[in-house]
Structure 1
Amino acid sequence: MKITFLSVLAASTIFLACATKTNTTSTAGKPKAIQLFNGKDIKNWTPKIRLHETGDNYANTFRVEDGLLKVRYDGYDEFNQQYGHLAYNTPYSYYLLRLEYRFVDEQTKGGEDWAWRNSGAMLHGQDPKTMLKDQDFPISIEGQLLGGNGTDARTTSNLCTPGTNVVIQEKLFTPHCLSSTSKTYHGDQWVTADFLVLGDSIIQHILDGQVVLEYNKPQVGGGSVENYDPNQKPDGKLLDSGFIYLQSESHPIDFRKVELYDLSPYKNQKATLEKVLSTLLNEKTRL
């Protein structure tokens, strides 16, 4: 699926033309990055860890040290499927999300085999305040982050769908996960992952300037989520906005950048949106 990012504009022309007009004035210049992680603390974030109430950062799972947002498990005796998610407190709809991450150290005791060097960015997620104590994952679209073992191929920026479905090539896609076409990123190297989210229209996963996965019409539905409030799962409802989460699934991970470019001012301006995306996605990340 080697699609160029500009194909999203052609595919979403009707969506752009029919979008509600915005009062925000935009320019052809690059929008300013919103730093979701400020390098100092997680005061603008809300943790939700399975078996614990919303807001309880159990065992200091999510912490800031050395200017990095770290996920750690030194306070766990056993992981015990205590899947954790850290939600940014402002929901977004139409944006480019950029992460810089790396997997480090060893997986904590009790983590499942599949969770080795496994984390994720949850997109269009439900409000963390609506998650139940024993709920395992937020109803959301997951950009799955995976690391390699030094030998075998293992793609990253994959798709997983806890409580959701998507449409791919005009067909409803209902399996839980789908691999991207990315290369494997081995070891503790820093990886930059972009996620282009245009409301309930199109979502693209982008690595090294290449679209490695694309789908559209994200919507509530399907399974792979447990112990949720049924009122939060109206199957078939399109997801046009939601909360962004970072995940903890038993393997330590660092994030040194979590930034967002709000694209909503360009929603009705196809040509300007194309220029903005071209600028943002052709920039070389300085590592």
Structure 2
Amino acid sequence: MKQLCYLFLLAGLLGCGTDTRNSAEQNGQPEWVQLFNGKDLSGWKIKIRGAELGDNYKNTFRVEDGMLTVSYDEYDSFNFEFGHLFYEKPFSHYRLRAEYRFIGDQVKGGPGWAFRNNGFMLHCQSPESMGLNQDFPICLEAQILGGSEEGERSTMNLCTPGSNVFIDGEFRTDHCMNSTSKTYRGDQWVEVEMIVLGDSVIHHLVEGDTVFTYTNMQMGGGAISGYDSLVYQEGKPMGSGYIAIQAESHPTQFRKIEILELKSE
């Protein structure tokens, strides 16, 4: 019965667009909340590989001109200092909406795959449970990518650091899987959304269109290092956790990150 309720809820969410915010406000239902206040990093926690929790190594995460910015202008070169900026509280059932763009050049030493690469890390382990030299949190990554001058490169893909999912009823252990989105090049702003319903289903949307769906999220696989083995539990359902954005060596800006919490049933 719960799964059936979720399907009805999703049908309404995917079809209502911005009207959902207006009707929610008018009916006294939960409203969209801005996770980024446009002024500073209040409400966020920083964890960069090799640095203690809260150490904003080389001022990687900052606010510039009202935009949350991942910057590398204080780096001489990148030495796998993968970073994550965690919102301070966990969530389970919600819609997360954001606008992002890639800017400038990738820092010297950044891996080729990290060119115009960032992500929204969903159902993350807590920042406090991250190992000092852990590269990526156990989570589900809604991967955002920018295209180069030639070739196709979708955005809002799925990567699975320490996690596995089902797609169309099939258990998948691939680390990264492509969405059906078009390629976004240059420094243009892109609006994306994630609809997250516990460990039941997650949808990725780009400019209002659903481009990826997966279900039955759980811990598993690999693609992470330096983690505390006590935090990792093979096969454990992933139904809640923290939200984080990445710093993987390419400058990125966010001008909106907002959430609408949903009822779990």
User: Is TM > 0.5 for Structure 1 vs Structure 2?
Assistant: yes
Separation of aligned partners in 2, 1:150 and 1:261: 35
Q: Does the alignment pair 1:29 with 2:28?
A: no
8 Å contact kept, 1:201–1:216: yes
- 1:118-267 equivalences under 5 Å are 118-264=117-263, 267=264
8 Å contact kept, 2:24–2:31: no
Separation of aligned partners in 1, 2:2 and 2:68: 36
Separation of aligned partners in 1, 2:223 and 2:2: 29
134-143 vs 47-56, which moves further? 47-56
Separation of aligned partners in 2, 1:41 and 1:149: 31
Q: Which amino acid aligns with 1:95?
A: Y
Separation of aligned partners in 1, 2:7 and 2:146: 36
What's the TM-score, normalizing by structure 2? 0.90
Q: Which amino acid aligns with 2:24?
A: G
Report the equivalent of 2:3: 12
Report the equivalent of 1:81: 80
Q: Which amino acid aligns with 1:249?
A: E
Separation of aligned partners in 2, 1:143 and 1:38: 22
Q: Which amino acid aligns with 2:42?
A: K
Report the equivalent of 2:71: 72
**What is the DSSP-based 3-state SS (H/G/I as helix, E as strand, rest coil) of the residue aligned with 1:232?**
coil
**What is the DSSP-based 3-state SS (H/G/I as helix, E as strand, rest coil) of the residue aligned with 1:12?**
helix
Residues 119-138 of structure 1 show CA distances to partners (whole Å, capped at 9, x for unaligned) of 00000000000001100000
Report the equivalent of 1:110: 109
8 Å contact kept, 1:126–1:243: yes
Report the equivalent of 1:23: none
- 1:20-59 equivalences under 5 Å are 29-30=24-25, 31-59=30-58
8 Å contact kept, 1:53–1:132: no
Report the equivalent of 1:283: none
Report the equivalent of 2:18: none
Residues 89-123 of structure 1 show CA distances to partners (whole Å, capped at 9, x for unaligned) of 01000000001000000000100011000000000
8 Å contact kept, 2:190–2:207: no
**What is the DSSP-based 3-state SS (H/G/I as helix, E as strand, rest coil) of the residue aligned with 1:231?**
coil
The offset of 1:210, in angstroms, is 1.3
Q: Which amino acid aligns with 1:188?
A: D
Q: Which amino acid aligns with 2:251?
A: P
- The percentage of counterpart residues that share the same residue type is 52
**What is the DSSP-based 3-state SS (H/G/I as helix, E as strand, rest coil) of the residue aligned with 2:230?**
helix
Separation of aligned partners in 1, 2:236 and 2:78: 33
8 Å contact kept, 1:12–1:202: no
Residues 223-242 of structure 1 show CA distances to partners (whole Å, capped at 9, x for unaligned) of 00001000111010001100
Report the equivalent of 1:284: none
CA RMSD of aligned residues (A): 1.8
**What is the DSSP-based 3-state SS (H/G/I as helix, E as strand, rest coil) of the residue aligned with 1:13?**
helix
Separation of aligned partners in 2, 1:16 and 1:154: 30
Residues 63-96 of structure 1 show CA distances to partners (whole Å, capped at 9, x for unaligned) of 0111000000112222111100000001000000
Separation of aligned partners in 1, 2:5 and 2:100: 35
Report the equivalent of 2:89: 90
* Structure 1 gap ranges (5+): 1-9, 18-26, 269-287
Residues 124-177 of structure 1 show CA distances to partners (whole Å, capped at 9, x for unaligned) of 000000001100000000000000113211000000000000111222110100
Structure 1 runs (4+) greater than 3 angstroms displaced: 14-17
The offset of 1:29, in angstroms, is 2.6
**What is the DSSP-based 3-state SS (H/G/I as helix, E as strand, rest coil) of the residue aligned with 1:139?**
coil
Report the equivalent of 2:13: none
* Structure 2 gap ranges (5+): 9-21
**What is the DSSP-based 3-state SS (H/G/I as helix, E as strand, rest coil) of the residue aligned with 1:228?**
coil
Report the equivalent of 1:61: 60
8 Å contact kept, 1:158–1:180: yes
Separation of aligned partners in 1, 2:182 and 2:262: 28
